[in-house]
A and B are shown apart, each in its own frame.
Chain A
Amino acid sequence: MQQIRSIQEMDIKLGERFQKVFTETWEHKKAGGLVCWSTSGGYNEFLRELGIRVVIPEVYGMVLSSTGMSPELCRNTDIYGYSPDLCSIIRSFSGFALSDPPMDPSTLPFGGFPKPDVLFCADYCPGLVKMWQEFARVFDIPMYVMEHPWVPDAVSADPEEMGNKVQECMTEFAGAISFFENFSGQKLAEDQLQKIANNMKEASVLWHDILAMNQNIPAPLSFFDVANQFAVFQFYKGTDECVQYYKELKAFVEDRVANTVTSIPEKYRVFWFGLPIGYRMAQHIEKFTRIQVQPVMSQWACYFGNPNMETNDPIRGIVQYHNLSTLQFRGVEWKRDYILKLIEDYKVDGIILEISRTCQVINFDQKDIAETLVKKTGLPMVSFEADLCDERLYSDEQFNNAVDSLVEMMERRGPGRL
Chain B
Amino acid sequence: MITAGIDVGSATAKAVIFLNGKIQSHSLIATGADSIKAARRATDQAMEKAAVLPKEVDYIVSTGYGRVLVPFAHKNISEISCHAKGAVHFFPGTRTILDMGGQDCKVIRCDALGNVENFVMNEKCAAGTGRFMDVMAKTLELPLEDIGELSLNPVGIPPSVSSICVVFARTEILRFLRKGIPKSDILAGLLDALADRVYGLSCRVGTTPDFVITGGVAKNTGMVRRLESMVKMTASLPWEPQIVGAAGAAIFAKQILEKSSE
Contacts and interface: CB of A to CB of B under 8 A. Distances in A.
Partners in one complex: yes
Contacts of B208: none
A79 interface: yes
Interface of B: 162-165, 168, 171, 175, 196, 200, 203-204
Contacts of B163: 392, 395
Contacts of A79: 200, 203-204
A100 to B, nearest CB: 10
A397 B174 CA distance: 12
A78 B164 CA distance: 15
Contact of A391 (B162, B171, B175): B162
Contacts of A397: 171, 175
Contacts of B164: 392
B200 A75 contact: yes
Contacts of B200: 75, 78-79
B162 A392 contact: yes
B168 A395 contact: yes
A81 interface: yes
Nearest to A75: B200
A149 interface: no
Contacts of A395: 163, 168, 171
A75 B200 CA distance: 7
Contacts of B165: 392
Contacts of A392: 162-165
A13 B196 CA distance: 39
Contacts of B162: 71, 391-392
Nearest to B200: A78
Nearest to A390: B162
A213 B163 CA distance: 40
Interface of A: 71, 75, 78-79, 81, 391-392, 395, 397
12 contacts: A71-B162, A75-B196, A75-B200, A78-B200, A79-B200, A79-B203, A81-B204, A392-B162, A392-B163, A392-B165, A397-B171, A397-B175
B192 to A, nearest CB: 12
Nearest to B171: A397
A79 B162 CA distance: 17
Given A391-B162, A397-B171, 16 more contacts: A71-B162, A75-B196, A75-B200, A78-B200, A79-B200, A79-B203, A79-B204, A81-B204, A392-B162, A392-B163, A392-B164, A392-B165, A395-B163, A395-B168, A395-B171, A397-B175
A250 B168 CA distance: 44
Nearest to A395: B168
A195 to B, nearest CB: 47
Contacts of A391: 162
B148 to A, nearest CB: 23
A71 B162 CA distance: 8
B56 to A, nearest CB: 48
Nearest to B163: A392
B63 to A, nearest CB: 28
B168 to A, nearest CB: 6
Contacts of B175: 397
Nearest to A79: B203
A78 B165 CA distance: 16
Contacts of A81: 204
Contacts of B196: 75
A86 to B, nearest CB: 14
Nearest to A393: B163
A195 B203 CA distance: 50
Nearest to B175: A397
A112 to B, nearest CB: 23
A94 to B, nearest CB: 15
A114 B194 CA distance: 33
Nearest to A81: B204
A70 B79 CA distance: 36
A95 to B, nearest CB: 12
A247 B79 CA distance: 67
A23 B200 CA distance: 34
Nearest to A396: B175
Closest 4 CB pairs of A and B: A79-B203, A78-B200, A391-B162, A79-B200
